[in-house]
Structures are given as structure tokens and as C-alpha cells.
Amino acid sequence: MEIRNPRTGKFDFSIQPVDANGVRSRTISLRASQPGWMAKGIEQRVRVLQQWHTLIEDYSTDLLESLIDDTGRKTESEKELNYVLRAIDSWCEIAKKILREPESLSTSIPVLKLQNHYEPFPLVGVISGWCFPFAHLMKEIIPALLAGSAVIAKPSCVTPRFVRTLNHTIHRTRGLREVLSLVEGTDDILEPLCSNADFVCYNGTAAEARQVSDIAHKLFKPSSIQHGLKNTVIVTETADLENASSAILLGGFWNAGQSSSSIERVYVHRNVYHLFLSRLVGKANLIRLAYPTTESGQIGPIIAEPQINIINGQLWEALENGAKLLTGIGQCEKWEGGYYCRPTIITNVKPSMKILNEETLAPILPVMSYQDTEEICEWVNGITQAHSGAIFSKTANEAIALGDKLSIPYLSINDIALEEVLQVGQHPQMTPETLEFEGTFSNYKKFFRKKTFIINTHKPFGTGWIKS
């Protein structure tokens, strides 16, 4: 299978896709090794991951180079690599704190005793997208391995170059290759991968998330499916426009908007709409394409080829129907075989347009003005639901009062994507108290299945049903 280079458009790399039988045979050997991995205990598993960390560092030049070839962008690739190294460190600390010991409990009926046992799913299937090919892959692999699971993982075949180097590090880490296998393949192996695993994880785009989630549902597989969708920002009348425009600039345009936390809708109170827009446009005009070199600017190429048509289609529909372009040229531009989308700010968009409802994954910010709380709530709650969002306003209480009326589950206040910032690997060591409330606990706990025993210490309740 030939792989396209996002900067040159050339098919300069190839992979040997594994088929369904290949997946099955790997899962058999992974399953055979998992009890031994589990029996090692957390301290030894931590040691294996620490050795892996060392090897990833040793190979970091190669890994970084291939990640840059995969994605066409440099600073984001450096951040990905650093994130992975920090995440291994953090998870190794955290996993030692979150031991899933059996719980013995009394119940509301004195003769009944309850015990909860936790065991890791023997085999976890990890599938990941191309937005952050290395980070999204490792985000699940690391805690799953520490929990005691074996892992079969399918990185995106849009960005497979780094996998070869990563495989070197896996093969050189003693005890790791028996319980971790990376498979390269097309969508054809999604179903065999899910059906042979006990638990399925996906991180990446909304479209692929839906595909994996449909398969997991059909197969009755427990799963953890993570993606973003139409993340939405609201700038109220009282917001600090300087801070808001800087944060939204980053949220909309970093990684060329190709991220599950990218902002894809901006609503601004009409009293500050023009002031906000002029600041945002001013800052957007300072952003450059990362062409001819990866260091020429901030906006790398479109990573996944099918995105080019999606982006052009959404822009075309909007502009044909009256939307107004404040920055950008209204379509992707081609440079030496690579496609780039300039930072694009558009106004006069209508709620029915694709660009406000479907996943865009590009550096495009539709900006709308709103009149009052009632109107903004009606708009935000009446459109494709955002998976996360942000509110900028003078006080947190004002933002929270508004946020309580919106159907958005995660809301950052006076910043963007803070739920990502609180992720493992992004920040200093966590305390046991913060583990649970920041979601880290559940991101580890998900790899364990719970078994509940209820013991009747007296005689069975129903013995008197039939009398002889």
C-alpha cells in the first residue's frame, strides 16, 4: 500500500497491510502472554515502560523525522514526542497510586456481603487517527499496558512512517513485544481487530470515531471512543478581547486546525463583535504557511488527502450562500504537491451550512455575532452538538451562568481546551485528590472490568417457595 507525503503529494512510502488472519494470529500470541504480564505486578511493568521510555529517547531523532514526514509539520511533532515521553513518566507514577484492589463491603441486608474485584481486560484494541498520530496512539497504550492488559494497536495508515521506528523501540524493550503489537492495515481490519479484543479504544476524528463505535456496538464490545466535534467558543460583552482573540487564534489555527480540540465555531456578542474581529483578523494576518520549509511559518499542509475536498466543499457552500471571507482565499492552495489552507476567518454564515455542522478539521473560524443570552442559547443548543467549548467573560460566574444553559459538556473559561491541558503528560505530577476529578482516574479505570460478588452468609432467601 502506497502512502502519500503531505508536503510533496508524492507516494514515497509503503506499508504491507496486515489482513484479518494476521490480526487474529497476533491476538492469539498476545493473549497467551498477557497472564505473565499481569503476574509481573505493577512495579515490574513500570520498569519495562521506563526502559521503553529510554529507547524512545534514544530513537527520538528518527521518530521526529518520520513524524514530520508523516504530517508535514514540525513544532507540533516535537510537542507530540515530548508529550509521549512525559506521559510515560506520569502514568508510571499514577498507576502505582491507583491500585485496583478488591473491595469488601457490607450491604443494607446484614446477611449479604459484597465484594468488588477488578481485573484488566486481557486484550485491549487501540485504534488511532492521523491528527496526532503518535500522541493519540500512546495515550491509550501506556495506561492499558500498566493496567496489565496486552495491546493490539492500529495506528492510522495515513501517517505510518513513525511506526517503523517505534517498532524498533518495542522490539528492543525486554518483555514488551510479547504484549504489544502494532498492526498496519486498512479499514478492513477494524472489524477483526475489534472482535478479537476485549475492549476497544479510539482517539481521533469524528468520522472515524463513528465507524469504530458502530463496529463496537454491533459486536457488543465495551469501548472508549474519543473525538471532538464543532468545538464552540462564546465571547461575551465583558470579555478581555486581547486575551480572547489570542486564545481563539491558537485554538482555531494551531496544527492547522487538525485536532479534536480545534475550535470550529465562534459566537461574539454584537456590542464587541467588530472590535473582536479586527483583533482576530490582525493576529491571523501575522500567521504564515510553513512553506517552503517546515520552519517558514505555523500552518503545515493538510495531512489527510480526503480532507482537501471536504474543506473546499464546506468553504464553497458557505461562500456561494453569502458568507464573507475576512482572511484566506476561500479554498486550499497547492504548493509543490502539498495542499495548504491559510488561516480563514469567515462571517455571514448561516446555521444550516455544513461549515457550522460538520467536522472541518482545518484552520477556519466562522465568526457570528449574537444579541443576547436567549439567542446564543437557542443557536448553540439547536445545532450539531459541540463536544467541548469555551466562554470568555469578565468573571467566571458570568461564564458559568451562561454555560449552565448550554448543551456542551466541557467548558473552558477564559481559555480554550483546558480539558486537554489537564491531561496526563501535559502538566506536573498529580495528587491522589486531583486524579479522580480531572478524569485521569477514569482513563485508567476503563481498562479494568469489575466483577461483583454478593455472598449470602445465611441460607438462600427462596427456600420456602415449594413445600412438600
Smallest gap, in angstroms, from Cβ of residue 158 to a second copy? 25
- By beta-carbon proximity to a second copy, the closer residue of 143 and 185 is 143
Q: Write down the least CB distance from residue 456 to a second copy, Å.
A: 4
CB of 432 to a second copy, least distance (A): 11
CA distance linking residue 413 with residue 242, whole number of Å:
15
Smallest gap, in angstroms, from Cβ of residue 180 to a second copy? 23
Nearer to a second copy, 15 or 287 (CB): 287
381 binds a second copy (CB under 8 A): no
Alpha-carbon span 309 to 354, nearest angstrom: 13
Binding residues for a second copy, rule CB under 8 A, total: 72
- Rounded Cα gap, residues 326 and 344, in angstroms: 7
Q: Taking CB under 8 A as the criterion, which residues in 297-336 touch a second copy?
A: 298
As given in the structure block, the three cell numbers for residue 178 are 510479547
Identify residues 103-162 at the interface with a second copy (CB under 8 A). 103, 105-109, 112-117, 119
- Between residue 272 and residue 301, which ones bind a second copy under the rule CB under 8 A? 282-283, 286-287, 298
Which conformational region is residue 220 in: left (phi greater than 0), alpha (psi within -120 to 50 degrees), or beta? left
Report the site for a second copy in 211-240 (rule: CB under 8 A).
213-214, 217
Question: CA torsion angle for 415, 418, 421, 427 (degrees, to 10)?
Answer: 80
Helix ranges (H only) for 261-417 are: 273-284, 306-320, 354-357, 373-381, 396-403
Q: Which is nearer to a second copy, 209 or 303 (CB)?
A: 209
- State the minimum distance, in angstroms, from the CB of residue 313 to a second copy: 23
> Taking contact as CB under 8 A, which single stretch among the options 1-9, 61-69, 360-368, 448-456 is the one that binds a second copy?
448-456
Q: Kindly report the backbone phi and psi dihedral angles of residue 346, in degrees, each rounded to the nearest multiple of 5, phi listed first.
A: -125, 150
Q: Which stretch binds a second copy (CB under 8 A): 134-142, 247-255, 256-264, 314-322?
A: 247-255
Single out the residue of 147, 411, 443, 446 in contact with a second copy (rule: CB under 8 A): 411
Query: What is the residue whose three cell numbers read 492552495?
Result: 333
What is the closest distance, in whole angstroms, from the C-beta atom of residue 128 to a second copy in the complex? 21
In this structure, are residues 128 and 32 in contact, taking their beta carbons and an 8 Å threshold? no
CB 443 within 8 A of CB 91: no
Vertex 206 angle, CA 200 and 210, to 5°? 50
Q: Could you say which of 124, 247, 272, 308 contacts a second copy (CB under 8 A)?
A: 247
Piece in contact with a second copy (CB under 8 A), picked from 23-31, 133-141, 154-162, 249-257 = 249-257
Can you say how many angstroms the Cα of residue 244 is from the centroid of all Cα atoms in its chain? 24
Q: Which of 37, 130, 254, 340 binds a second copy (CB under 8 A)?
A: 254
CB closer to a second copy out of 162 and 448: 448
Over the window 32 to 71, marking each residue x when it contacts a second copy by CB under 8 A and - when it does not, the resulting string is: ----------------------------------------
Show the cell assigned to 287: 500567521
Residue with Cβ nearer a second copy (158 or 263): 263
Tell me which residues in 85-114 interact with a second copy (CB under 8 A): 103, 105-109, 112-114
The region of 20-28, 322-330, 345-353, 446-454 touching a second copy under the rule CB under 8 A is 446-454
Q: Which of 97, 173, 82, 197 is nearest to 134 (CA)?
A: 82
- Give the angle 415-419-425 at the CA atoms, nearest 5°: 110
Among 421, 425, 442, 444, binds a second copy (CB under 8 A): 421
Exposed, middle or buried, 118 (CB in 10 Å: 0-12/13-18/19+)? middle
Query: Shortest gap between Cβ of 451 and a second copy (angstroms)?
Result: 6
C-alpha cell read off for 338: 502539498
- Please spell the DSSP secondary structure of 174-210, one letter per residue: TTTTTTEEE----GGGHHHHHHHSSEEEEEE-HHHHH
Give the residue ranges of DSSP H helices in 104-149.
133-147
Contact 325, 278 (CB under 8 A): no
Q: Which is nearer to a second copy, 174 or 458 (CB)?
A: 458
First CA to last CA across the chain, in angstroms?
A: 73
Which one of 51-59, 81-89, 306-314, 459-467 is the stretch in contact with a second copy (CB under 8 A)? 459-467
227 in helix, strand or coil?
strand
CB of residue 302 to a second copy, shortest distance in Å: 20
Site residues (CB under 8 A) for a second copy, limited to 388-407: 396, 399-400, 403-404
Residue 159 or 412: the one with the smaller Cβ distance to a second copy is 412
Taking each helix axis from N to C end, the angle separating 161-172 and 42-58, rounded to the nearest 10 degrees, works out to 130
Q: Which residue, 293 or 463, is less far from a second copy as judged by CB?
A: 463
Question: Which positions from 346 through 375 interact with a second copy, judged by CB under 8 A?
Answer: none
DSSP code, position 389: E
Closer to a second copy by Cβ: residue 15 or 418: 418
Q: How far is the CB of 320 from a second copy (least distance, A)?
A: 29
Which helix (H) or strand (E) segment is 158 a member of? none
Nearest of 28, 59, 138, 137 to residue 92 by alpha carbon: 138
